[in-house]
Chains A and B, each alone.
Chain A
Amino acid sequence: VSTDTDIQAGFLALLNAHRRLLYKVTRAYGRSAADRDDLAQESIVQLWRAYPRYDRRFKFSTWMYRITLNVAISWQRRERTQMRHRASEGEEILENVAVLDATLDREDVALLYASIERFDEIDRALLLLYLDGHSHAEIADVLGMTPTNVGTRIGRLREHLRKAFRQAGHLSSSLSQGEAS
Chain B
Amino acid sequence: MTLDDLQQQWLAQDKRIDELVQFTRHLRLERALVKPRRSLRLSQFGDVFEGLLGLMFLPWTGQFLFTHLGEPRFWLPAAALHAWFVAVVAVAVARFVLKSQVHYDAPVLQIQQQLTRLRVLTLRALRLTFATGVIVWGAPIAIVAARSWFGLDLYALLGFKAVLDVLAVSAILALGFLAICALCENRLQHSPLLQTLARNLAEYNLRVAEDRLAKLAELERGH
Does B149 interact with chain A (Cβ within 8 Å)? Answer: no
Separation of A67 and B1 alpha carbons in the complex (Å): 31
Tell whether A143 pairs with B107 under 8 Å between CB atoms, given A8-B33, A70-B112, A89-B36: yes
CB atoms of A90 and B36 under 8 A apart: yes
Choice from B6, B30, B107 contacting A144 with Cβ under 8 Å: B107
Q: In the complex, how many angstroms separate the beta carbon of B111 from the nearest chain A beta carbon? A: 5
Dominant SS at the B interface?
A: helix
Q: In the complex, how many angstroms separate the beta carbon of A11 from the nearest chain B beta carbon? A: 8
Choice from B105, B112, B115 contacting A67 with Cβ under 8 Å: B105
Residue of B nearest to A4 (CB): B34
Tell whether A44 pairs with B33 under 8 Å between CB atoms, given A19-B21, A20-B17, A20-B21: yes
CB atoms of B108 and A144 under 8 A apart: yes
CB atoms of B108 and A69 under 8 A apart: yes
Cβ contacts under 8 Å, A137 to chain B: none
Residues 51-100 of A contacting B (Cβ, < 8 Å):
53-54, 63, 66-67, 69-71, 73-74, 81-84, 89-90, 92-93, 96-97, 100
Tell whether A50 pairs with B104 under 8 Å between CB atoms, given A19-B21, A100-B21, A130-B7: yes
Does A175 interact with chain B (Cβ within 8 Å)? Answer: no
Residue of B nearest to A54 (CB): B105
Separation of A90 and B22 alpha carbons in the complex (Å): 16
CB atoms of B21 and A133 under 8 A apart: no
Choice from B3, B31, B40 contacting A45 with Cβ under 8 Å: B40
CB atoms of B7 and A131 under 8 A apart: yes
Separation of A78 and B219 alpha carbons in the complex (Å): 21
Separation of A154 and B31 alpha carbons in the complex (Å): 41
Q: In the complex, how many angstroms separate the beta carbon of B78 from the nearest chain A beta carbon? A: 37
Cβ contacts under 8 Å, B220 to chain A: 144-145
Count A interface residues, CB 8 Å.
Answer: 64
Tell whether A12 pairs with B29 under 8 Å between CB atoms, given A54-B105, A74-B112, A161-B2: yes
Residues 1-48 of B contacting A (Cβ, < 8 Å):
1-3, 6-7, 9-11, 13-14, 16-18, 20-26, 28-33, 35-37, 39-40
Does B170 interact with chain A (Cβ within 8 Å)? Answer: no
Does A112 interact with chain B (Cβ within 8 Å)? Answer: yes
Tell whether A89 pairs with B32 under 8 Å between CB atoms, given A66-B108, A133-B11, A144-B108: yes
CB atoms of B6 and A112 under 8 A apart: yes
Separation of A13 and B28 alpha carbons in the complex (Å): 15
Residues 126-172 of A contacting B (Cβ, < 8 Å):
130-133, 141-146, 148-149, 152, 154, 157-158, 161-162, 165
Q: In the complex, how many angstroms separate the beta carbon of A107 from the nearest chain B beta carbon? A: 12
Q: Please, what's the 1-or-0 string for A104-121, where 1 marks a CB less than 8 Å from any CB in chain B?
A: 100011001001000000
- Identify 18 new A-B residue pairs, CB closer than 8 A, beyond the known A20-B21, A104-B17, A144-B108: A66-B107, A69-B108, A70-B104, A81-B205, A93-B29, A103-B20, A104-B13, A112-B9, A112-B13, A122-B216, A131-B6, A133-B7, A133-B11, A144-B110, A145-B219, A146-B222, A161-B3, A162-B2
A-B contact pairs, 25 of them (CB 8 A): A8-B30, A12-B29, A12-B30, A16-B22, A19-B18, A53-B103, A70-B112, A81-B196, A83-B196, A89-B35, A90-B28, A90-B29, A92-B28, A103-B16, A104-B13, A109-B13, A112-B13, A131-B10, A133-B7, A133-B11, A143-B108, A143-B109, A144-B110, A148-B222, A158-B3
